[in-house]
């Protein structure tokens, strides 16, 4: 069995010291998946502009109040969705302009820093067991359609990215401690391939029929995920799929982190299955190593 994927969260620590303070280092090292790059304040903007998948910036307040506040304002201008943590002496919020840092830690202990980052990036939700479960649910649903093995890869995108191909189905879900949506999106090649394998001899599909494929697939995948969450002690309710059509792109969102499954071998097309969590979501899983159970009812489409 391959090693479980670790969510890689690219982070820049802005400090004018050769090495970060021990408390800062311990706070960052306590979080699995952080990829930390050091940058001096004067070089921070150019460094950050070269990192398109950046999720978090930690600013050591010892770079100076004026220079640090100007840096925060410039980062907000470049990317309003970027998470920013300010460490050290409190600064009047007005110095940061209209958008201050997401967290200000006047006395940044290791625990306070790691807790602040977990709160911002939802590490309690964005975890390898959920990625694994989503992968298994996706593969199970597709194998029900293809009646043969399907390969899929697991990936984790940055906290504020959503992939969107030509057609998408979004299933909203909610519960006492967890809410968000499951998104299944694919291009015409992938969705046509699924339909052809399910409806032998079917005519060339039109747009509505491709939307039906995405909608049915999202229902099956999230149905399996909902059952898995129930066995974790997390009860969820969900709505009907919302169907969308448009150009391929990446969308920004201010919600929690994403577990992303990429299945590239679907008729030569692209298919992504994504699980996104709203801010404020967070759960403790009761049995995170429990395997997904795929029912005997086959995924099928009606002609």
Structural domains in the chain, sorted by start? 9-121 (3.40.50.10090), 128-277 (3.40.1550.10)
- Residue 291 and residue 293: Cα distance in Å, rounded? 6
**Residue 249 in this model has a pLDDT that exceeds 80:** no
Residues 6+ positions from 298 with CB-CB distance below 8 Å: 144, 145, 147
Residue 227 CA: distances (Å) to CA of 142, 291, 293, 295: 17, 11, 8, 10
Is the per-residue pLDDT at 303 higher than 60?
Answer: no
pLDDT, tens digit (0-9, with 9 covering 90-100), for 137-191 = 888 888 876 667 777 776 655 555 677 888 999 999 998 878 888 999 998 988 9
Model pLDDT, residue 51: 73
* pLDDT in the model for residue 295: 59
Residue 193 has pLDDT above 50, yes or no: yes
pTM of the full structure: 0.65
Q: pLDDT of 84-123, one tens digit each?
A: 898 887 666 667 766 788 888 888 888 998 888 877 776 5
- Whether the CB-CB separation of 176 and 235 falls below 8 Å is answered with yes
C-alpha atoms less than 13 angstroms from C-alpha of 80 in its C-beta half-sphere: 6
Q: What is the mean pLDDT of residues 21-44?
A: 81
């Amino acid at each position: 069995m391959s090693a479980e994927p670790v969510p890689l969260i690219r982070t820049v620590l802005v400090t004018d010291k050769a090495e970060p303070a021990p408390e800062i280092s311990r706070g960052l090292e306590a979080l699995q998946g952080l990829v930390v790059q050091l940058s001096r304040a004067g070089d921070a903007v150019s460094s950050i502009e070269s990192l398109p998948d950046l999720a978090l910036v930690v600013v050591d307040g010892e770079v100076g109040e004026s220079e640090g506040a100007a840096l925060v304002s410039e980062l907000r201008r470049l990317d309003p969705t970027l998470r920013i943590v300010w460490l050290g002496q409190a600064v009047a919020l007005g110095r940061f302009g209209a958008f201050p840092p997401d967290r200000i830690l006047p006395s940044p202990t290791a625990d306070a820093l790691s807790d602040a980052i977990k709160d911002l990036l939802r590490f309690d939700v964005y975890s390898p067991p959920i990625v694994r479960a989503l992968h298994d649910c996706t593969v199970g649903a597709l194998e029900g359609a293809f009646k043969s093995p399907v390969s899929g890869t697991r990936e984790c995108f940055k906290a504020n990215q959503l992939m969107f191909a030509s057609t998408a189905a979004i299933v909203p879900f909610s519960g006492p401690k967890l809410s968000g949506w499951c998104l299944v999106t694919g291009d015409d090649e992938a969705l046509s391939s699924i339909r052809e394998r399910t409806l032998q001899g079917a005519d060339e599909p039109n747009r509505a029929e491709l939307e039906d494929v995405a909608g049915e697939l999202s229902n099956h995948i999230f149905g399996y995920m909902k059952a898995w969450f129930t066995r974790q002690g997390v009860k969820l309710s969900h709505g009907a799929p919302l169907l969308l059509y448009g150009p391929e792109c990446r969308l920004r969102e201010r919600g929690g982190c994403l577990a992303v499954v990429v299945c590239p071998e679907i008729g030569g097309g692209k298919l992504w299955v994504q699980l996104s969590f709203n801010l404020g979501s967070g759960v403790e899983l009761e049995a995170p190593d429990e395997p997904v159970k795929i029912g005997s009812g086959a995924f099928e489409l009606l002609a």
